[in-house]
Structure 1
Amino acid sequence: MTLHLTEQSATLRLRQGRLLVELDQQILTQMPARKVRCVVVWGNVRLTTPALTFLLRNQVPILFTSLDGAFYGAAAPHSLAPAARLRAQFNAAGSVRLRLAKAFVLSKLCSSRLVLSRFAPRYPSVRELLAQLEPLAARLEGTTELDRLRGYEGIIARLYYQALQGPLSPYGFTGRNRRPPRDPVNAALSYSYALLLARVQLAVHSVGLHPEVGMLHAESRRNPALCLDLMEEFRVPFDLTVMRAFMKGTLKPLEHFEDKAHGIYLNEAGRKVLIRLFEERLTQEATHPAGWKRPFAATIEHQAQLLAAALLQRGDYRPYHLVMP
């Protein structure tokens, strides 16, 4: 399980084989320590040295983010990945890097088209923007330059978010924005992406790949480029969770959000709702284009394994994307 520490000024302690979250000497929650596979620290939460030591000794990564989802960094267990795997990742260039980067972008395109096709019958604007996405698949296939591929990825994202203005306009959505988010939908999307990044980080770490050495995204000390690469396959599927939350009234703009620092952010109640929905989504079945079905959590892990194998040239990489039921 992933342990999300969201209660501000709380402390995570280890006591008799259990992890306890305490605030003002009151136990908020507790669980068997060995059931925790990842810890995400949101904002101002403390970890005692025994708790931190236990987590690192048991290969449990700890991710640190701001309360609003900005990724700060990670405390990872000291373990050496197979040298051949890291060498293959660092040396990936030319056709190998381009092929993998192209797979991530094609996945994003396929999922974006499928989601927008569901809204197209009711929204003429969605139909128009969907038509602009249609020819991009052929252009992607013929691309031989990484920078041009990144440009296409940007176009796909722009058209996708622009198309969502129709169905999401009742909730104040006028297009993608962040830092700060200016409406409830963008606040929820940013928080959802932070949750997703934590899960992808866990998968990348588990297969011994370096999170900062990407194929599509440029390397950066500030961002885990490879995790952002793999995330592209799952952004749109988890966007659906956010969309449904608004459309079903599970997330309410007046009840679950607050104005703060010139932006709109989830409040404590809203964060708890979205974390619950995200964890539920991880247990739901995902159908891979190859035909097999697994929960989303297992699918993310499997894609990381496939990526590691592809870097070692032990098989082709087939990305995940949404498919018609």
Structure 2
Amino acid sequence: MRILLNTLYVTTPEAYLSKDGLNVVVSVKQNEIFRIPIHNIEQIITFGYMGASPGLMKLCADNNVSLTFLSPQGRYISRSQGPTRGNVLLRKAQYKNSDEPNYALHLSKLFIGGKIQNCRNILRRFIRDNGDDEAIERVCEELLRCKRRVLNAESIDSVRGIEGEAATAYFGVFSRLLLNQKEDFVFEGRNRRPPKDAINAMLSFVYTLICNDMTSALETVGLDPYVGFMHTLRPGRASLSLDMMEELRAYLGDRLVLSLINRKQITIKDFIKQGDEGIVMTDSGRKIILSAWQNRKKEQIIHPYLNEKVSIGLLPYVQAMLLARFIRKDIDDYPVFLIK
């Protein structure tokens, strides 16, 4: 089992990363504000445009520490990593299977069926904790029908279409899951680029974090994160990461956003308007989410397939490992992660 090490998040947009011996050094306007030994971290995620020195990038590559650059608003820019490692036979099998329509369809149905079921479980849990809600009950029934349709779909295009219907229904009642700050956090469905409200800004930000962790996990087990089964191939697009994070979105992302708002750990003051319609998080807002994200990853659960305790932060690695086993034919099927 992989040890869950730390992620260094650099949230100051003016920060520049460099090296001093075996230390990562963070500076702002040529003044050092932080340093940490490279062996104490697993990955670096920096929000800004100042960049990193070639020496720091080599230090990261030599120590298998990924370096990811995001914009101050959390939009993905690029990712740096060392030499590709892993079993070449595993990747060869992955590439071959990605071109097999039936194989790709089978995994696509599992990814999206799991996603829909987990969204439904989020809604069912809300009803258990807070009482009946007719609108949410109706959506739960709709999601159940969507999941059944996905599992019986005959093409990936059909899976994508049904997934879109399910997402529209789910996010149509998402605001009903808010118990506090309802007037400040208005939500009328998913939107992005730029997000038009605070909830969409938070969701997009957290989904980016999940995708980055999924990419690291896939590389760790020897799979190519850029060759997926459902998401189409595009240069620079981590298609397999996007495939696999579908089943984790609701559990890792949506629940965190709802928890932060309902517990009043984040407020509308942590967001600012950008342009005529867009809204972005402040630096303090990003730090609140990142702190909650790191704490959440330390919590432990019983994995439904392995039936043993794992840290929530290791879920991407566990699922990547299970997918690799399925591709190698060590197990009969891919066990999608489902919450109760």
TM over 0.5: yes
Q: How does 1:17-166 map to 2 (within 5 A)?
A: 17-92=22-97, 93-120=100-127, 121-166=131-176
Compared with structure 1, are the counterparts of its residues 286 and 154 closer, same or farther at alpha carbon in structure 2 (3 Å cutoff)?
farther
So what's the TM-score if we normalise by structure 1?
Answer: 0.94
How far apart in 1 are the matches of 2:92 and 2:75? 30
Q: Distance in 1 between matches of 2:146 and 2:247?
A: 17
Give the secondary structure class of the aligned counterpart of 2:247: coil
Gaps of 5+ in 1: none
CA contact (8 A) 2:9 2:44 kept: yes
2:195 corresponds to which of 181, 194, 207: 181
> Are 1:317 and 2:334 an aligned pair?
yes
Say if 2:252 is the partner of 1:244: no
Counterpart residue identity of residue 149, structure 1: V
User: Distance in 2 between the 1:123 and 1:164 partners?
Assistant: 12
State which of 275, 285, 289 in structure 1 corresponds to 2:290.
275
Any residues of structure 2 matched to 1:165-204 within 5 Å, and which?
165-168=175-178, 169-170=182-183, 171-204=185-218
- Residue type matched to 2:320 in 1? A
Cα contact 2:25–2:34 (8 A) shared by 1: yes
Q: Are 2:310 and 1:294 equivalent residues in the alignment?
A: yes
Change in Cα spacing, 1:161 to 1:222, as seen in structure 2 (3 Å) is farther
TM-score (norm 2): 0.90
Contact 1:40 1:64 in 2 (8 A): yes
User: What's the offset of the Cα at 1:137?
Assistant: 2.9
1:259 alignment partner AA: K
Q: Tell me the distance in 1 between the aligned counterparts of 2:32 and 2:78.
A: 27
For these two proteins, the number of residue pairs brought into alignment is 322
Q: Distance in 2 between the 1:157 and 1:273 partners?
A: 27
1:4 aligns with 2:14: no
Give the match's secondary structure for 1:46.
coil
Equivalent residue of 1:177, what SS?
coil
In structure 2, what residue type is equivalent to 1:185? I
Query: Please, which runs of 5 or more residues in structure 2 have no aligned partner?
Result: 1-5
CA contact (8 A) 2:214 2:316 kept: yes
Partner secondary structure for residue 138 of structure 2? helix
CA distance in 1, matches of 2:216, 2:78: 13
Report the secondary structure of 1:37's partner residue: strand
Fraction of identical pairs, as percent = 26
Give the Å deviation of 1:80: 4.3
> What amino acid maps onto 1:6 in structure 2?
T
Q: CA deviation at 1:27?
A: 2.7
Secondary structure of the 2:231 match is: coil
State the secondary structure of the residue aligned to 1:127. helix
